[in-house]
Amino acid sequence: MSPEQFSEQTGQIERLRARISELVVTRSRSPIDRKAWERACAEFHEAFHELSFPGGPSMWTDLVAGGPDGIEAAVQFLESNPYFFRSGYMQQETWHRLKRAPLTAKQARRLDLVAIEYLSRPIRREFWDMVRYARLRGTDALWSDLRELLTSEDRSLRTRAGWLLLARQGSPVKAWVHTELVLARYKKGHVLNVCFNDRIRETRT
């Protein structure tokens, strides 16, 4: 499935969801209006299972079984960076499934590049699932790329690259970030600092 085809599928999910939001306002007006809303809900849920993953439910089942077609669909899914209802939860689960999947060298490298793209995106729930995947399955090329990003002029990019390198060495970087966010919110005068690159140890051999 091409990225364009999958994008059209996920667009259909959002259109169906928008239709539910439209009809929920008038569902109490009459039995006919309620039926229209119920029909829209049924159409959305039926379509969601077919459209939310490349190849549909059969490809998801193949991924869960460790099959090559399902694994390729999962890589494509993450490469497409979909954004639709519950897409964050699905990306979390996909990263989790791929942690133990039998990837080809090319697929592993493609996922490296997806991980690097995450560093420039808004941080959502699936970010830390990507970090856990990278810690286990990141290639030598990924860690080399991240080391280079430590010298980036973009502070956010070098900070997040550092987070992955810290996670690789076993540091509780997610907890450190959370602590900083809490202190910045509740401790008067605290200056937020989520860059911990001075804690990165030398490259492992």
C-alpha distance from residue 118 to each of 44, 51, 72, 115 (Å): 29, 23, 19, 5
Please state, as a whole number, how many other Cβ atoms lie within 10 Å of the Cβ of residue 6. Answer: 21
The predicted pLDDT at position 204 comes to: 53
* Calpha distance 41→47 (Å, rounded): 10
Instruction: Report the distance separating Cα 174 and Cα 142, nearest Å.
Output: 20
Query: What's the pLDDT at 205?
Result: 43
End-to-end alpha carbon distance in the chain: 39
Instruction: Give yes or no for a contact between 73 and 54, defined as CB atoms under 8 angstroms apart.
Output: yes
Could you report the average pLDDT of every consecutive run of 10 residues in the chain (205 residues)?
Answer: 78 91 92 93 90 92 96 96 89 97 97 97 95 97 98 96 97 97 95 96 64
Q: Residue type at 67?
A: G
Question: Can you tell me the distance from the alpha carbon of 154 to that of 131, in angstroms, rounded to the nearest whole number?
Answer: 20
Phi then psi for 121, rounded to 5 degrees? -105, 160
Q: How far apart are CA 56 and CA 72, in angstroms?
A: 13
Residue 60 buriedness (CB in 10 A; 0-12 / 13-18 / 19+) = buried
Torsion angle, alpha carbons of 82, 86, 90, 92, to 10? 100
Count, residues in the chain: 205
pLDDT of residue 203: 62
